[in-house]
């Protein structure tokens, strides 16, 4: 007997179907860019509470094996913030560290939902995964790799290095850390990571195109739907690459197919931090693509936002199955939030809910305030607010954070294929193993 495949990869544009190889990130057919999504054989979600952390949702994760990680999103009903806003059914998806509520994402953001799924999917596949990050993703990958010894090459802007810490002294021997130095931003780091991903033995992680990333993040919505017994009416999140928003929409589609969580499409309410708001601007104009911004203009506005993790210059917006499609399908709304609004929302959240939240989560909370003020949500509606990152201050009461140092740095003018190849060759040969070890 041949068991049916757990999942296949399907193209959102043409429907072409592919075997679920972790290396496949795009459709082969000749059409405009499109995302592949995971189509799972099992249409009914069975939560497996005996499995570690987020792997209890393994039915709808593109992995065969689990990793030994404890983090998962938690969903709880807000009382004080809900009361303050006059809302009857406000639920918080908290992604971070808050042991009093059993929230144990030790790198304090929902990027720690992506990393274990991406890595578990590569279990046993030789090669080093290459990830570009503005901070939170990198921290999450370093932490999970320090626990599992998966070979990792992490590329990030030098100016974001302070975001790179570990909650514990882990074994970092399998991690190769590359900095894009000087004035390089996240976009330059992505560029550098592309060159490294082309080297023998290295594999680009894929970002938004990687179904493991999206389905890992989608767990926030699954956890909430199981907790509430239904699909929420509204979903609030701050977006940078758009991956989390797409993931929430895709989780919604699976829950609809399951059928036991009701038949609604939750409205996506997604927010960006002023003055860097490319997706908000495009959506407000109902434009299916983002207007190109000059390099200087982008860098200038990015330097002014407090939620740096939202400053992605190439978000997954215009491609088929991307954020524009998700917003159309869910009758979505997008918001622009100033630093000051974000700061006020963070203070309000800490006072009323009792935990510190990050600038990005402040942006999401502020967008909920805007929606309430504008009458875009009703007092009885079921609302899910994704606190994508929180508990950083709380974590420091319990843990001594360890910082990480880059193994090599490339200046902007050295981000060229041959220079990167030369620089990386010795480093990759000398220091690190290239086959994933099982934990």
Residues that bind ligand PLP (CB under 6 A): 109, 111, 136, 238-245, 309-310, 312, 358, 360, 388-389
Partner that binds at residue 241, options ligand PLP, Zn ion, none, CB closer than 5 to 8 Å by kind: ligand PLP
Is the Cβ of residue 136 or residue 159 nearer to ligand PLP in the bound state?
Answer: 136
Our CB check for ligand PLP shows the closer of 151 and 240 to be 240
Does an H or E element contain 90, and which? strand 89-98
Distance, CA of 256 to CA of 60 (rounded, Å): 13
Q: Is 39 helix (H, G, I), strand (E, B) or coil?
A: strand
Determine which helix (DSSP H) or strand (DSSP E) holds 258, and give its type and residue range.
helix 243-258
Which residue lies nearer to ligand PLP by CB, 78 or 109?
A: 109
The site partner of 29 among ligand PLP, Zn ion, none (C-beta below 5 to 8 Å per kind) is: Zn ion
User: What's the CA gap between 180 and 186, in Å, rounded?
Assistant: 9
Q: At 344, is the secondary structure helix, strand, or coil?
A: helix
Q: How far is residue 224's CA from residue 355's CA, in Å, rounded to a whole number?
A: 19
Look-up of token digits 């210059």? 313
Site residue total, Zn ion (CB under 5 A): 6
Could you tell me the sign of the dihedral formed by the alpha carbons of 33, 216, 130, 314, in that order? positive
Cβ of residue 21: shortest distance to Zn ion, in angstroms?
Answer: 16
136 binds, among ligand PLP, Zn ion, none (CB under 5 to 8 A by kind): ligand PLP
Of 6, 16, 409, 421, the one binding Zn ion by CB under 5 A = 16
According to the binding rule CB under 5 A, does residue 14 interact with Zn ion?
Answer: yes
From ligand PLP, Zn ion, none, interface partner of 13 (C-beta below 5 to 8 A by class): Zn ion
Q: Smallest gap, in angstroms, from Cβ of residue 364 to ligand PLP?
A: 7
In this structure, what token pair is assigned to residue 285? 């104009």
User: Considering beta carbons, is residue 325 or 341 the nearer one to Zn ion?
Assistant: 325
Helix locations, 285-338, DSSP H: 295-304, 323-330
CB of 191 to ligand PLP, least distance (A): 17
Q: Which of 351, 275, 261 is nearest to 311 (CA)?
A: 275
CA atoms within 13 A on the CB side of 126: 5
Which partner in ligand PLP, Zn ion, none is near 11 (CB below 5 to 8 A by kind)? Zn ion
Q: Using CB under 5 A, which residues numbered 17 to 76 contact Zn ion? A: 27, 29
Picked from ligand PLP, Zn ion, none, the partner binding residue 174 (CB below 5 to 8 A depending on kind) is none
CA dist., res. 116 & res. 140, Å (int)? 9
Residue 250 beta carbon to Zn ion: minimum distance, rounded to whole angstroms? 17
Q: State the nearest-atom distance from the C-beta of 135 to ligand PLP, in Å.
A: 7
Q: Do the beta carbons of residue 69 and residue 107 sit within 8 Å?
A: no
* Residue ranges in contact with Zn ion by CB under 5 A: 11, 13-14, 16, 27, 29
């Amino acid at each position: 007997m041949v068991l049916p495949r757990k999942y296949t990869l399907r193209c959102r544009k043409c429907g072409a179907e592919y075997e679920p190889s972790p290396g496949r990130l795009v459709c082969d057919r000749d059409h405009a860019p499109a995302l592949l999504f995971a189509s799972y054989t099992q249409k009914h979600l069975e939560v497996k509470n005996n499995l570690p952390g987020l792997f209890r949702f393994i039915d709808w994760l593109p992995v065969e094996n689990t990793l030994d990680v404890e983090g998962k999103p938690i969903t709880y009903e807000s009382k004080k913030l809900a009361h303050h806003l006059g809302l009857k059914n406000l639920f918080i998806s908290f992604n971070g560290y808050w042991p009093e509520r059993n929230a144990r994402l030790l790198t304090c953001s929902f990027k720690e939902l992506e990393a274990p799924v991406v890595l578990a999917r590569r279990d046993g596949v030789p090669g080093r995964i290459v990830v570009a990050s503005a901070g939170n993703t990198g921290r999450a990958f370093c932490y999970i790799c320090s626990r599992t010894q998966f070979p990792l090459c992490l590329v990030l802007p030098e100016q974001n290095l302070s975001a790179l810490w570990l909650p514990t002294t882990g074994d970092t021997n399998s991690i190769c850390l590359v900095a894009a130095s000087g004035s390089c931003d996240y976009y330059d780091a992505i560029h550098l990571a592309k060159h490294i991903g082309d080297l023998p033995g290295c594999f680009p992680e894929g970002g938004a195109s990687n179904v493991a990333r999206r389905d890992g993040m989608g767990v926030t919505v699954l956890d909430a739907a199981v907790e509430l017994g239904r699909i929420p009416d509204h979903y609030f999140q701050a977006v940078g690459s758009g991956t989390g928003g797409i993931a929430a929409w895709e989780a919604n589609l699976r829950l609809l197919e399951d059928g036991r969580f009701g038949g609604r499409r939750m409205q996506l309410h997604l927010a960006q931090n002023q003055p860097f708001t490319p997706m908000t601007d495009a959506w407000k104009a109902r434009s299916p693509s983002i207007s190109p911004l000059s390099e200087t203009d982008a860098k200038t506005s990015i330097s002014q936002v407090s939620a740096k993790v939202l400053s992605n210059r190439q978000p997954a917006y215009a491609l088929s199955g991307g954020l524009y499609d998700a917003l159309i399908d869910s009758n979505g709304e997008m918001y622009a939030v100033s630093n000051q609004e974000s700061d006020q929302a963070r203070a309000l959240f800490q006072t009323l809910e009792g935990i510190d939240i990050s600038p990005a989560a402040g942006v999401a909370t502020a967008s909920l305030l805007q929606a309430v003020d504008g009458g875009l949500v009703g007092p009885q509606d079921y609302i899910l607010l994704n606190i994508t990152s929180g508990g950083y201050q709380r974590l420091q009461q319990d843990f001594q954070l360890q910082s990480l140092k880059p193994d090599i740095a490339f200046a902007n003018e050295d981000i060229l294929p041959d220079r990167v190849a030369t620089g990386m060759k010795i480093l990759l040969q000398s220091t690190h193993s290239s086959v994933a070890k099982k934990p």
